[in-house]
Chains A and B, each alone.
Chain A
Amino acid sequence: MPIEKMVPLMIDGIRDTMYMTVVSTFFAYLLGLPLAIALVLTSPKGLAPRPLIYRVMDAVVNIFRSIPFLILMILVIPLTRLIAGKAYGSTATIVPLVIAAAPYVARMIESSLLEVDPGVIEAAQSMGASIPQIVFKVIIPEAKTSLIVGATISSGTILGYSAMSGAIGGGGLGQIAISYGYNRYQTDVLLVTVILLVILMQLIQVVGMTISRKTDKRVRE
């Protein structure tokens, strides 16, 4: 493919991929964060143990986590149509991306929150802190570094999913790779998309890790 055609194609691809990744990550956190907090609080060892509710949420998360992303995409097509009005393109792909990523994100956040020193939580309890105070003033701020690392890994995974979605009509770099590289044997296009995906992934990784390190107060300066 000539360079004058390649550049605008790739710019569109990057834009669409970033759009899907950022928006999906945002909505996945919107759903995943409350879910993770609920899991942590209601667990048998949590601050408000509700074994039944916990087991139901735990099972739902596990079920969604165990469905392969491509199959999930096909399964939720009716829902995608309902929400996005169509089943293909970048915006439509956000629906299955969020559904696949939210349980993943929830687990990620859950494990970060569980890392918080129980002694600090107990200290807050001994001061008369309420559960919301403990969640928002202790658990989340103390888990901050781990949460940022988790967000970095999660958005990387979502980037990967978004590329995969190209196989069945999602947009972005994944779709370009499939339709030019695979269907039309344009190896140069395939190669460039792969390189761009690797660069995007690296970028997310470097930015995320830098932020988490810079904001962590536990290291001696």
Chain B
Amino acid sequence: MALIELRHLTKTFRGKMQTVEALRDINLSIHQGEIYGIIGMSGAGKSTLVRCINFLEKPTGGQVIIDGKDLATLTPKALRALRQDVSMIFQHFNLLQQRDVRGNIAFAMEIAGMKKADIERRVDEMLEIVGLTDRQHNYPSQLSGGQQQRVAIARALSTNPKIILCDEATSALDPQTTTSILNLLREINQKMGITIVIITHEMSVVESVCTHVAIVDNGDLVENGTVEQVFSQPKSEAARKLIFRKAGADAGVMGDRMIRIVFEGNASSEPIIAGLVMECHVAVNIMYADTRDVGGKAFGQMILQLPEDHLQQEKAIYYLQNKNLRVEEVNGHAH
């Protein structure tokens, strides 16, 4: 059984003026050890979804089952105990401003009722892990955003959780700091086997750390699977939008005769385009290229504009397919 099971989860906000169906019939299983990305446009319902996982938000329908426990059936006390297994980190860090770094890390353990001596020892360990030992007596206002998020991660980690939920944990940080925070999360996942759920609106975050991804669009979970699956064969319009938005595929880029080729595994180390030009004498226009390492495997995509000549077009597609690349036409529908 999955560590986190969402079954027919719905959440409707009923206001005086309007009702918002923030989530509709969400079904999702997240297994132990996965780093699960949940991505979607602003207002899609991502935050609502992650807040339902620890019942900060009570769903209006369906079930949330964590480690075999249906959260709706728990007493308030049991729910609080369960929350010690499900830590959360936030976009704006949410540290106690009147406590120093040590105090903030100790906080979660005080809540959990640990003994003072044990807390002190564990704080030292956590400081070591997040690399803030020299800053332990600073207050949050004296730290950079990245350092504050490290404190939040240390605090989240201190109670030995099974799951860490991150709601836009890197959205307030610059790219470099984002990378270092994501690396820290990956390390935590690999060394301690902690399952991580990452909410984001940035494709690059999913690409760089996630093993799995779910795409939420306007309250619906439209697609999910491994990052490789979803990125290389996006089935839904929303997924294509997110992937192509990243591909800089705004109005200008999407002309006629466009194809998208997807690299998986070792294919991206071959000089495909050079081959296309030299072996087939087909001149292509590279409209967009983005290849990178995902989970140790080369992975990426490229958008090419083919020549007008039909024969040349077919030659190019044939060549690319022979190289075991998937080729998709992107005319019209992907923007």
Interface residues of A (CB under 8 A from B): 117, 119-120, 122-130, 133, 137-138, 141-142, 144-145, 216-221
Q: Is B73 an interface residue (CB 8 A)?
A: no
Interface residues of B (CB under 8 A from A): 54, 56, 79-84, 86-88, 90, 92, 94-100, 107-108, 110-112, 139, 141-142, 152, 159, 165
A120 contacts B95, CB within 8 Å? yes
- Total contacts A to B, CB within 8 angstroms? 76
Q: Is the interface of A mostly helix, strand, loop or mixed?
A: helix
A127 contacts B108, CB within 8 Å? yes
CB distance from B269 to the nearest CB of A (A): 43
Taking CB atoms, residues of chain A closer than 8 Å to B56 are 122, 125-126
Bound together, the chains give a CA A126 to CA B54 distance in angstroms of 7
Known: A124-B111, A127-B159. A220 touches B142 (CB 8 A): yes
A142 contacts B98, CB within 8 Å? yes
Taking CB atoms, residues of chain A closer than 8 Å to B111 are 124, 127-129, 133, 137
Taking CB atoms, residues of chain A closer than 8 Å to B97 are 117, 120, 142, 217-218
Bound together, the chains give a CA A216 to CA B98 distance in angstroms of 7
Bound together, the chains give a CA A105 to CA B99 distance in angstroms of 26
Taking CB atoms, residues of chain B closer than 8 Å to A218 are 97-98, 139, 141
**Among B80, B82, B96, B112: residue with most chain A CB under 10 A:** B96
A130 contacts B80, CB within 8 Å? yes
- Which residue of the partner chain, among A123, A133, A219, contacts B94 with CB atoms under 8 Å? A123
List 14 extra interface pairs beyond A119-B90, A128-B81, A145-B98, CB under 8 A. Answer: A120-B96, A122-B56, A123-B94, A124-B107, A124-B111, A125-B83, A126-B86, A127-B84, A127-B111, A128-B80, A128-B82, A141-B96, A142-B97, A220-B142
A119 contacts B112, CB within 8 Å? no
Bound together, the chains give a CA A39 to CA B84 distance in angstroms of 28
**Among A123, A125, A130, A221: residue with most chain B CB under 10 A:** A123
- Which residue of the partner chain, among A126, A138, A141, A219, contacts B88 with CB atoms under 8 Å? A126
Bound together, the chains give a CA A145 to CA B108 distance in angstroms of 23
Chain B residue, CB-CB nearest to A129: B111
**Among A125, A127, A137: residue with most chain B CB under 10 A:** A127
23 intermolecular pairs with C-beta atoms under 8 Å apart: A120-B95, A120-B96, A123-B152, A125-B56, A126-B83, A126-B165, A127-B87, A127-B111, A127-B112, A128-B80, A128-B84, A129-B80, A133-B111, A137-B111, A141-B96, A142-B96, A144-B98, A217-B98, A217-B141, A218-B97, A218-B141, A219-B141, A221-B142
Taking CB atoms, residues of chain B closer than 8 Å to A125 are 56, 83
Known: A217-B98, A220-B142. A123 touches B90 (CB 8 A): yes
Bound together, the chains give a CA A45 to CA B108 distance in angstroms of 24
Bound together, the chains give a CA A141 to CA B88 distance in angstroms of 22
Taking CB atoms, residues of chain B closer than 8 Å to A137 are 107, 110-111
Taking CB atoms, residues of chain B closer than 8 Å to A120 are 94-97
**Among B54, B90, B95, B98: residue with most chain A CB under 10 A:** B98
A127 contacts B95, CB within 8 Å? no
Taking CB atoms, residues of chain A closer than 8 Å to B100 are 217
A126 contacts B87, CB within 8 Å? yes
Taking CB atoms, residues of chain B closer than 8 Å to A126 are 54, 56, 83, 86-88, 165
Taking CB atoms, residues of chain A closer than 8 Å to B139 are 217-218
Chain A residue, CB-CB nearest to B97: A218
Bound together, the chains give a CA A141 to CA B97 distance in angstroms of 9
Taking CB atoms, residues of chain B closer than 8 Å to A219 are 141
Bound together, the chains give a CA A141 to CA B95 distance in angstroms of 13
- Which residue of the partner chain, among B88, B99, B141, B142, contacts A123 with CB atoms under 8 Å? B88
CB distance from B167 to the nearest CB of A (A): 10
Taking CB atoms, residues of chain B closer than 8 Å to A145 are 98
Bound together, the chains give a CA A145 to CA B94 distance in angstroms of 18
Bound together, the chains give a CA A218 to CA B224 distance in angstroms of 42
CB distance from B331 to the nearest CB of A (A): 45
Shortest 5 CB-CB contacts between residues of A and residues of B: A128-B83, A128-B80, A123-B94, A126-B88, A119-B94
Bound together, the chains give a CA A124 to CA B90 distance in angstroms of 12
CB distance from A126 to the nearest CB of B (A): 4
CB distance from B194 to the nearest CB of A (A): 15
Bound together, the chains give a CA A126 to CA B296 distance in angstroms of 33
Bound together, the chains give a CA A138 to CA B99 distance in angstroms of 10
CB distance from A199 to the nearest CB of B (A): 32
Known: A126-B87, A133-B111, A218-B139. A119 touches B92 (CB 8 A): yes
Taking CB atoms, residues of chain A closer than 8 Å to B90 are 119, 122-123
CB distance from B111 to the nearest CB of A (A): 5
